[in-house]
Amino acid sequence: MVKSQDLLTEVESKELLKKAGIPVVEAKLARSKKEAVSLSREMGFPVVLKISSPDVVHKSDSGGVKLGLANAAQVGKAYSEIVSSIKKAYPQAQIDGVSVQAMAPPGVEVIVGMSKDAQFGPVLMFGLGGILVEVLKDVSFRIVPVTERDAREMVKEIKGYPVLQGYRGQKPASIPALEQLIVKVSQFVEKNPQIKELDLNPIFAYPDKAVAVDARIILE
Partner 1 sequence: MFEEKLKEFEPIFYPESIAVVGVSATSIKAGSLWVMDLRSAGFPGAIYPVGSSGGRIGDLEIFPNLRLVPGEVDYVIVAIPRQSVLELLDDCAAKNVKAVHFFTAGFSETDTQQGRKLEEQMLEKTRQGNMRIIGPNCIGVYCPEHRIPFLMGILGEDGSVGFVSQSGGIATKLATIGIARHINYSKGVSFGNGIDLDASDFLQYLAADPKTKVIGAYLEGTRDGARLFSTMKAVAKIKPLIVWKGGRTEAGAKAAMSHTGSLASSATIWSAMLKQVGAIEAHSLEELTDTLLIFQRLGHGRGTRAAIIGGLADGGGGNSVAAGDACLENGLSVPPLSFETKQKLSELLGEVGSILCNPVDVSQAQFRGLATLLQAIDLVVRDTISDIVLIQEDIEILLPIYSQKGLEEINGFLIELAGMQNKPIIVVLPPGSVEAERLRIERKLLAASIPVFSSMERAARAIYRLNQYCCRREAS
* Position 7 contacts partner 1 (CB under 8 A): yes
The window from 24-32, 64-72, 117-125, 169-177 that contacts partner 1 (CB under 8 A) reads 117-125
Rounded to a whole number of angstroms, the minimum distance from the CB of residue 115 to partner 1 is 4
Q: Smallest Cα–Cα separation from 100: which of 45, 21, 20?
A: 45
User: Do 33 and 76 form a contact (C-beta atoms < 8 A)?
Assistant: yes
* Position 201 contacts partner 1 (CB under 8 A): yes
Rounded to a whole number of angstroms, the minimum distance from the CB of residue 128 to partner 1 is 12
Residue of 198, 205, 210, 213 that binds partner 1 (CB under 8 A): 198
Rounded to a whole number of angstroms, the minimum distance from the CB of residue 159 to partner 1 is 14
Cβ neighbours of residue 160 under 8 Å, at least 6 residues apart?
A: 127, 128, 132, 136, 138
Rounded to a whole number of angstroms, the minimum distance from the CB of residue 202 to partner 1 is 11
Alpha carbon dihedral 123, 175, 50, 76, in 10-degree steps, equals 170
Strand boundaries in the chain, DSSP class E? 7-8, 28-30, 47-52, 65-69, 97-102, 108-117, 121-128, 139-143, 195-205, 210-212, 215-219
> Which C-beta is closer to partner 1: that of 38 or that of 62?
62
Neighbours of 208 (CB within 10 A): 10
Distance CA 142, CA 150 (A): 7
> Which C-beta is closer to partner 1: that of 125 or that of 183?
125
Residues numbered 64-93 forming contacts with partner 1, rule: CB under 8 A: none
* Position 219 contacts partner 1 (CB under 8 A): no
Rounded to a whole number of angstroms, the minimum distance from the CB of residue 46 to partner 1 is 27
Q: Is 46 helix (H, G, I), strand (E, B) or coil?
A: coil
* Position 114 contacts partner 1 (CB under 8 A): yes
Q: What are phi and psi of 152, to 5 degrees?
A: -60, -45
Interface with partner 1 by CB under 8 A: which residues?
2, 7, 57, 111, 113-115, 117-121, 123-125, 133-134, 137, 139-143, 149-150, 153, 197-199, 201, 216, 218
